[in-house]
Each structure stands twice: as structure tokens, then as C-alpha cells.
Amino acid sequence: MHDPAAQRVDFQNVLLTGDGVRLLPGAVRYAWPSELDLMARLAGLRLRERWGGWRREPYTASTSGLYVAVYEHAGVAAS
């Protein structure tokens, strides 16, 4: 179940084995890049790089399904 207002996804994994069925519930809460940037800034960090994946693909808000953000201490000069 997806709750966009709470930015939460609740799910149920079903494991079928010779011993029977096991239900493994789970939940994730996601954050938008702008939220992470704000949390980082409040913690004294700044965005150094943002990619659209682990292979450093370009990030675009409209097409990237995931993102990787690298933050650094705000007092450190970017290299």
C-alpha cells in the first residue's frame, strides 16, 4: 500500500517453502531530494553531487527513478 501523504510504502512479502507460507511485512519511508537537501543543510552539510544511479548517471527530476546524493561538511572546500 502506498500512502503518498505520509511518503510511506507498506508491503508484504510472501515466502512459500516446503514448510508452508510465511508472511514477511515491511515498510519504507521515502524522502524527496529537496527534503534530504534541507536535512543536510540543517546538519551543516551541503550537496556535493547528485546522480541518477550508482553509475553516476545524470539526475533529472522528471526521468530519474532513483538518485544518489553525496553531501560534504559545509566548511570543506569543494575539490
Instruction: Specify whether 18 is located in the same domain as 44.
Output: no
Instruction: Specify whether 50 is located in the same domain as 76.
Output: yes
Instruction: Specify whether 40 is located in the same domain as 71.
Output: yes
- Nearest alpha-carbon partner for 67 in 29, 32, 28, 43: 32
Residues 42-68, buried b or exposed e (16+ Cβ, 10 A)? Answer: eeebeeeebbbeeeeeebeeeebeebe
Q: Quote the pLDDT of residue 63.
A: 81
**Domain tally for the chain?**
2
Instruction: Specify whether 61 is located in the same domain as 39.
Output: yes
Question: Given 3-state DSSP classes, what are the helix, strand and coil percentages for the chain, each rounded to the nearest 5?
Answer: 15, 45, 40
Instruction: Specify whether 23 is located in the same domain as 43.
Output: no
Q: Quote the pLDDT of residue 71.
A: 97
- pLDDT truncated to tens, each residue of the chain (79 aa)? 999 999 999 999 999 999 999 999 999 999 989 999 999 999 999 999 999 999 999 998 788 788 899 999 998 766 5
What domain range includes position 14?
1-30
- Nearest alpha-carbon partner for 51 in 32, 70, 76, 75: 70
